[in-house]
Amino acid sequence: MTKELFNDRVHALMAKVLDLTSERHRVLANNVANVDTPGFQRSDIRFDRELADALRSRSPNALRKLRPTVVQSKTAAAFRNDGNNVDMDTEMGEMAKNFLLYNVNAQLISKRLAMLRAAISGRP
């Protein structure tokens, strides 16, 4: 019974999103750190499609097996001639969105645990 309580799909999904967003933050921080490195190409992690596929497959291990893939973008920036395509505004925007997604998930996990606690204690 307790196994189902904590190992359900919703919980696994939220934990996975925490993992993926924290990994994505590392990649975005690397882009920012290399904003002045000549020839550096920005990379990013996309996981929305993989996540949707894993959810659709309904296999319990699909979520656990999901590994983020780092993709490098090869497009050249029009306004720079050092071969670097990092745009600081884009990075900061993506970082803010990623941060919010992380916070939303952490909050959801907290609320879910609070609901469990309420059910256990019987007090609202």
Distance CA 37, CA 66 (A): 31
- Quickly count: other Cβ atoms within 10 Å of residue 63's Cβ: 18
Distance CA 44, CA 54 (A): 20
Q: Which stretch binds another protein (CB under 8 A): 5-13, 16-24, 52-60, 73-81?
A: 16-24
**Quick one: 9 or 117, whose CB is closer to another protein?**
117
Distance CA 41, CA 75 (A): 8
Q: Which single residue is written with the structure tokens 């996981």?
A: 47
Q: Does 12 bind another protein (CB under 8 A)?
A: no
Given 11, 12, 13, 30, the residue binding another protein (CB under 8 A):
30
Distance CA 22, CA 97 (A): 12
SS3 69: strand
Q: Does 77 bind another protein (CB under 8 A)?
A: no
Given 28, 51, 54, 63, the residue binding another protein (CB under 8 A):
28
Q: Does 27 bind another protein (CB under 8 A)?
A: yes
Q: Which residues are at the interface with another protein (CB under 8 A)? A: 18-19, 21-23, 25-38, 40, 43, 70, 72, 88, 91-92, 95-96, 99, 102-103, 106-107, 109-110, 113-114, 117
